[in-house]
Chain A
C-alpha cells in the first residue's frame, strides 16, 4: 500500500466516523455540538506551531505567529464558550431527569 492510499484510507474512515458519532443528536444540542466541533478544528494550532517553528525569515515568522494566535483563539475560545453553554444544561440535570418520567406519562 502506498503512502497516499494510507492517507486516503484514514480520510474516508474519518468521514464515516464523523457522521456516525453525531447522527443521533437532539436539536437542543445542535448549537453546543457545532461550537464543540468548531473548537476541535482549532487543532490547526499544531500545524501553526510546526510552520512557525521552522520559519526561516522574519516575514514567515510573523505570518506563522499570526496563525498561532488565530488558531489558539479558535481552540481555547471554542472550548470555553461550549463549556459555558453546557454549564447551563447541567445545573438543572437532576430535577429534569426526574421530571422526564412524568412528562411521558
Chain B
C-alpha cells in the first residue's frame, strides 16, 4: 500500500499540473505556468523512490534519468526555432513509446497471475500498448515530414484504407485475446501492429495539417499514460495523463477550426481523393516582377504598409533584416504592422515565437481578425515567404484543399508585393490566384538576400 504522504505528494503534483495548464493559456502567466508544471513533475520524480521500498536497480535508473535529462535539455536548447514543431513531435513520440514499454513490462508481470487480474486491467494494458505505439510511430512520421526527411505531401497507395482497416481489426481482435487469455507475445504483437497503425494513420496527412496531427497524437499519449496509471494504480499518472488527453483533444479541435478544417477531413480527407492534395505544379502564366529599388520606393513613400510573414521568412533566417526594414520605414513615418495568420509558420502561434526571437515588438503583431478590415487602407502589403494564408482560393474555390480556411485579406490592399524564391506553390500545394492579380508584383530571390537589397535600397531613398 502506498503511504499516505506519498499519495498527498502526488495530489500536490497533480494540482501543479492543473495550475500549469491554466496558466499556460494566458500570455501573462504562461512562463510561470510551465515552471509550476516542471515543479510538479520534479516532486513526483523524487517521491516515487519512496512509494515502494522494494525498488531495486536505483543506480542504473538514476543514470538513465541523467542521460535522458541531458540529451533532452541540450536538444531543446540547441534546436533552431524553425525546427521546434518537429522537436515537440519527437518528444511526444518518445513519451508514447515509454508508455507502451511500461505497459509491456507490466503485462509481463501480470501474465503469471492473470487469473486473479481484473479483465478491465488487462484491457487497459492492451490500450496503453496500442495507443502508446501509435503515438510513437505516428510522431516519428510527422517528425520525418517536418524535417523534410520525406515528402510533406500526402502519401497514399492503393489499398491503404484496406490495410489500415485490416490492421486495426487484427489489433482489436488480439486485444480481446489478451483480456481472455493474457500472454506476453500477444502484447508484443499488438505493440508492433500499433506501430504499423501509427504510420498508416499519418502517411496520408498532408503538409499543412501535420501540426494538428501532432496535437492529436499528443492527446493520444496523454490517454495512454492515463491508462498506464490505472494499471500501475498510480493516481498521478491517471490524472496527469487524462488532463493532457482531454485538453489535447480540445486543443486539437481549436486548431482544426482555426484552419477551417474538421478532424476526419484532416485524417481521411486525402484518402477520399484529394482534400489536402494540391497539384503542386508550377504554372507558366505571366507575372509582374519588380526590382528591390522599385519595392523600396513603394514602401518608402507609403503611408500604411502591412507585412504578412510566413514560414519561408523564418527558413531563410530573414526575420532580423525584416525587423530592421520595418524599423527604418517607421523612422520614415510609414505605419507598419505585421499581420499574423493563426497558422502562419508551421504551428498555431509559431510565427509569434519566430518574430519575438528577432526582437519584433509584440504590439506590432496584429492577429488576423483585428487587421483584416485594415487591409483596404494599406498602400502596400509585403508578403514574405507566405502563400497559402493569403490565397483567395480559400474563399472562392470550393474544391480547393484550403477552401473554408480563414485568410488574410491581402487582396484588398492597393498594391501587393510577394517576396518569393520561385513560383512554387505553398505548403498546401495549390496555385495562388493573387500572384497573377494586376495589383501584384513579385520580388524573386532568397528572402534574406532580397531583404538585404531592399534594406539598402530604402536606405538610399
Q: Which residues of A contact B (CB under 8 A)?
A: 4, 7, 10-11, 14-19, 21-55, 60-61, 63-93, 95-96, 99-100, 102-103
Give 17 CB contacts A-B under 8 Å: A11-B242, A18-B250, A30-B255, A30-B347, A37-B248, A38-B92, A40-B20, A42-B41, A47-B98, A47-B99, A53-B57, A68-B98, A73-B68, A75-B68, A79-B41, A80-B76, A96-B361
Chain A residues near B241 (CB-CB < 8 A): 41, 43-44
Contact of B363 with A44 in the complex, beta carbons under 8 Å: no
Q: How far is the CA of A80 from the CA of B57 in the complex (A)?
A: 28
How far is A99 from B370 in the complex, measured between Cα atoms in Å?
15
B389 CB within 8 Å of chain A: no
Docked Cα-Cα span, A22 to B108, in Å, equals: 37
The 8 A-B pairs at the shortest CB distance, nearest first, are namely: A72-B68, A18-B246, A77-B72, A99-B363, A53-B55, A74-B95, A30-B348, A96-B362
CB distance from B257 to the nearest CB of A (A): 10
Contact residues in B for A31 (Cβ distance below 8 Å): 84-85, 88, 347-350, 353
Contact of A47 among B79, B232, B249 (CB under 8 A): B232
One of B52, B238, B244 near A7 (C-beta < 8 A): B238
Stretch in B151-159, B217-225, B294-302, B422-430 with 4+ CB within 8 Å of A: B217-225
Q: How far is the CA of A80 from the CA of B42 in the complex (A)?
A: 13
> Hey, which chain B residues are within 8 Å of A85, CB to CB?
84, 353
Chain B interface residue count, CB cutoff 8 Å, equals 113
**Which residues of the other chain, A, contact B105 by a CB distance below 8 angstroms?**
51-52, 55, 60, 63-64, 67
Of the candidates A17, A37, A76, the one whose C-beta lies within 8 Å of that of B251 is A37
Which residues 169-207 of B have a CB within 8 angstroms of A? none
Which chain B residues numbered 13 to 55 have a C-beta less than 8 Å away from chain A? 13, 17-18, 20-22, 24-28, 30-31, 33-35, 37-38, 41, 44-45, 48-49, 51-52, 54-55
Instruction: Fill in one digit per residue for B247-272: 1 if any A CB lies within 8 Å of its CB, else 0.
Output: 11111001100100000000000000
B226: contacting residue among A11, A22, A60, A103, CB under 8 A: A11
A46 and B197 alpha carbons, distance in the complex (Å): 27
Shortest distance between the CB of A20 and any CB in chain B (Å): 9
The answer to whether A44 and B98 touch across the interface, beta carbons within 8 angstroms, is yes
| Bound CA span A11–B362, Å | 39
Is there contact, CB below 8 Å, between A81 and B251? no
Known contacts: A27-B349, A83-B34. The answer to whether A61 contacts B60 by CB under 8 A is: yes
Q: Which of A54, A86, A93 contacts B54 (CB 8 A)?
A: A54
| A21→B25 contact, CB < 8 A | yes
Residue of B nearest to A34 (CB): B215
- In the bound assembly, the distance between CA atoms of A21 and B244 in angstroms comes to 11
Given contacts A18-B244, A33-B251, A40-B244, contact A48 B349 (CB under 8 A): no
Q: Is B356 in contact with A43, judged by CB distance below 8 angstroms?
A: no
Write out the residue numbers on chain A whose beta carbons fall within 8 Å of the beta carbon of B87: 77, 81
Question: Is A29 within 8 A of B229, CB to CB?
Answer: no
Whether A61 contacts B57 by the Cβ 8 Å rule is yes
Could you tell me the distance in whole angstroms from the C-beta of B266 to the nearest C-beta in chain A? 15
Q: State how many angstroms separate the Cβ of B74 from the closest Cβ of chain A.
A: 9
Where chain A touches its partner, the secondary structure class is helix
**A37, B250: Cα distance in complex, Å:** 12
Assess the A37–B21 pair: CB atoms within 8 A: yes
Which A residues are in CB contact (< 8 Å) with B104? 63
Is A92's CB under 8 angstroms from B356's CB? yes
Selected from A30, A36, A51, A61, the residue in CB contact (under 8 A) with B349 is A30
> How far apart sit A24 and B109, CA to CA, in the bound complex (Å)?
43
Chain A residues with CB under 8 A of B214: 34
Say yes or no: A54 contacts B56, CB within 8 Å. Answer: yes
User: Does B239 lie at the interface of the complex (its beta carbon under 8 Å from any beta carbon of A)?
Assistant: yes
Question: In chain A, what residue has the closest Cβ to B238?
Answer: A10
Contact A103 B363 (CB under 8 A): yes
Contacts of A72 in B (CB 8 A): 64-65, 67-69, 72
Closest CB of chain A to B392's CB: distance in Å? 22
Return the chain B residue nearest A36 by Cβ. Answer: B24
Q: Which residues of B contact A23 (CB under 8 A)?
A: 250
Contact pick for A25, options B69, B108, B254, CB 8 Å? B254
Given contacts A23-B250, A46-B44, A52-B61, contact A40 B232 (CB under 8 A): no
B225-239 contact mask (Cβ, 8 Å, vs A): 1 or 0: 110111010111111
Give A52 to B98 CA distance when docked, in angstroms: 11
